[in-house]
Chains A and B, each alone.
Chain A
Amino acid sequence: AQSVAQPEDQVNVAEGNPLTVKCTYSVSGNPYLFWYVQYPNRGLQFLLKYITGDNLVKGSYGFEAEFNKSQTSFHLKKPSALVSDSALYFCAVRDGGNYGGSQGNLIFGKGTKLSVKP
């Protein structure tokens, strides 16, 4: 069964400092990994994805994520946080070996609230 864990409910960072939002996953096959961001009263917006290839993936708004197969992790990072990055962040995983039926769906983590203070 697929699963994804975001161990932190909230991450607090000072503006200008680097940020990391953690995500670990479990799938039976090769993972397809995604990060989404949700601003207040809005739907989830796609940030970046890892499918295959380079373990460091770059996405929107200066975010990047590093795929680590041995640690089954896909942490979201940004070198210098902005106050406008404050939002709810979701990690999601899909089993890359199955795209039909329910196993083809994304499994979302519970979300991590990122708060960036000036």
Chain B
Amino acid sequence: DAGVIQSPRHEVTEMGQEVTLRCKPISGHNSLFWYRQTMMRGLELLIYFNNNVPIDDSGMPEDRFSAKMPNASFSTLKIQPSEPRDSAVYFCASSLKGVGKSNQPQHFGDGTRLSIL
């Protein structure tokens, strides 16, 4: 079975540029999560969607960050303009959530390693 697919795996760009990270969740999963991982702060939840609707974006650091989920099989995380402090590994995860399903684990993609110069 295909897992969560993220692209690109690596991204290097100059500050000020727009960056778009992409995620395809596991088919049938209805919850999607974006995380950021750094050495200093560990794993941080940025935003999560339920049935394509953003539920909690309190972890989004600034207005420069935005996320969309136009359909059940695709989500994007955009940073515009990017800054060096945005350098991190960004993970997408998906799970099946609903009544009686709150104990389902999240399945993670292999992440996008983002470097802003």
Contacts and interface: CB of A to CB of B under 8 A. Distances in A.
Contacts of B103: 32, 49, 51, 94, 96
B106 A106 contact: yes
A43 interface: yes
Nearest to A44: B108
A94 B102 CA distance: 9
Contacts of B110: 41-43
B56 A46 contact: no
Interface string A81-118: 00000000010001010010110111011110000000
A45 interface: yes
Contacts of A90: 43
A101 B108 contact: no
Nearest to A98: B102
11 contacts: A42-B110, A42-B111, A43-B108, A43-B109, A43-B111, A44-B43, A99-B102, A101-B55, A101-B56, A102-B58, A110-B42
